C-alpha cells in the first residue's frame, strides 16, 4: 500500500477507477482534476476527515487489493475533531484571504454576463473589460496572490503537489491576462471571450479549492505564533501597496454589478 500512498492520484484512479468513486463519496473531487499530480497520502491528509479517514483508507486498500485480507485500523491517535459540516473557522490572516476571494468572486461571477453582452465597438463595454483586467492585475494578482506566494506558502512545503498546482493556476491566470491585454488592443472579440472565459473557469475552481481545502489545511498546521506572524506580515505587505489603487479596485468590485446591468439594459434598448 505504501507505494500507492506515494503515487499521484491520477495514476491510481486510471488503474483502479473504483478509487475515484470512493473518493467522490467523501466529497474529494480528484476525478475531474486535469492535473491529478497530488499524492494519495497528501490528499487524505489535506481533507481533514478525522475518524472517517480510517474507513476511507480501508476501502481504498480493498479496492486496490481485493484479494487481500485488509484489516480495518482502529484509531489510537488523537485526531482533531472535525468541525461541523459547512462551518469553517479561519484564523484572522486566512480569513482576510477568504474575504479577498469574496471580492474577486464578485467580478469573476459576472464575467459570463459581461461576455454575453460584449460589443467591442462599445466604449463603455470595453472600458468595463479594461477595468476588470486592472482589477485582476492589481487586486487579484499583485495584492492577493502575491501574499499567498511570498508569505503564506512559505509556511508550507512548496514541493507539495497541491502547492505546485496552486502556483501553476496563478501562472495560467497571468497568461490569460497577458493574452487579454493583447486582445483588447486589437479589439479581438473572439480572443477576449476565450481568455476571459478561461479565467472565469480557472479562478472559480481555484478559489473553491483554496477556501474549502487548502486554507483550512494550512490553518490546521499553524501554531498560534505563526498565526500572529502571518497577520503581521500581511499587514506589512499591504502597507507597501498603493492604497489608492486598492481602494479603486474595491470600488470597482462593489459597483461592477450595476455597470453590467446598465450595459445590458442599453443593449436591450438598441435591439
Residues that bind another protein (CB under 8 A): 89-93, 95, 224-225, 227-229, 231-232, 235
Q: State in angstroms the smallest separation of the CB of 92 from another protein.
A: 4
- Nearest in space to 73 (alpha carbons), one of 84, 87, 59: 59
Q: Which is nearer to another protein, 153 or 231 (CB)?
A: 231
Q: State in angstroms the smallest separation of the CB of 234 from another protein.
A: 11
Q: Which is nearer to another protein, 92 or 112 (CB)?
A: 92
176: which residues sit within 8 A by CB, 6+ positions away?
195, 196, 198, 199, 202
Q: Which is nearer to another protein, 159 or 223 (CB)?
A: 223
| CA geometry: angle 12, 24, 78, nearest 5 deg | 85
Q: Alpha-carbon distance 19 to 98, whole Å?
A: 31
Q: Alpha-carbon distance 101 to 138, whole Å?
A: 14
Q: Retrieve residue 173's grid coordinates.
A: 491566470
- Nearest in space to 263 (alpha carbons), one of 100, 162, 116, 56: 116
Q: Which is nearer to another protein, 159 or 225 (CB)?
A: 225
186: which residues sit within 8 A by CB, 6+ positions away?
none
Q: State in angstroms the smallest separation of the CB of 44 from another protein.
A: 24
Q: Which is nearer to another protein, 32 or 86 (CB)?
A: 86
Amino acid at each position: 500500500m505504501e507505494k500507492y500512498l506515494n503515487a499521484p492520484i491520477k495514476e491510481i484512479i486510471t488503474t483502479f477507477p473504483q478509487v475515484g468513486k470512493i473518493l467522490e463519496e467523501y466529497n474529494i473531487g480528484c476525478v475531474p482534476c486535469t492535473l491529478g499530480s497530488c499524492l494519495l497520502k497528501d490528499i487524505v491528509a489535506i481533507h481533514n476527515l478525522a475518524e472517517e479517514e480510517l474507513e476511507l483508507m480501508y476501502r481504498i486498500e480493498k479496492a486496490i487489493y481485493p484479494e487481500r485480507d485488509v484489516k480495518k485500523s482502529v484509531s489510537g491517535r488523537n485526531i482533531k475533531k472535525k468541525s461541523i459540516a459547512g462551518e469553517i473557522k479561519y484564523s484572522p490572516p486566512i480569513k482576510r484571504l477568504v474575504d479577498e476571494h469574496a471580492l474577486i468572486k464578485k467580478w469573476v461571477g459576472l464575467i459570463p454576463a459581461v461576455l454575453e453582452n460584449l460589443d467591442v465597438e462599445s466604449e463603455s463595454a470595453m472600458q468595463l473589460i479594461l477595468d476588470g483586467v486592472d482589477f485582476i492585475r492589481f487586486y487579484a494578482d499583485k495584492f492577493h496572490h502575491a501574499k499567498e506566494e511570498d508569505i503564506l506558502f512559505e509556511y508550507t512545503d512548496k514541493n507539495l503537489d497541491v502547492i505546485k498546482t496552486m502556483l501553476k493556476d496563478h501562472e495560467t491566470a497571468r497568461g490569460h491576462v497577458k493574452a487579454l491585454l493583447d486582445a483588447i488592443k486589437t479589439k479581438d472579440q473572439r480572443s477576449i471571450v476565450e481568455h476571459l472565459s478561461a479565467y472565469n473557469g480557472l479562478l472559480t475552481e481555484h478559489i473553491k479549492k483554496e477556501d474549502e481545502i487548502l486554507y483550512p489545511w494550512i490553518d490546521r498546521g499553524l501554531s498560534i505564533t505563526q498565526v500572529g506572524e502571518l497577520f503581521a506580515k500581511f499587514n506589512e505587505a499591504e502597507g507597501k501597496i498603493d492604497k489608492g489603487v486598492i481602494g479603486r479596485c474595491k470600488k470597482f468590485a462593489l459597483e461592477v454589478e450595476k455597470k453590467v446591468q446598465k450595459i445590458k439594459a442599453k443593449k436591450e434598448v438598441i435591439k
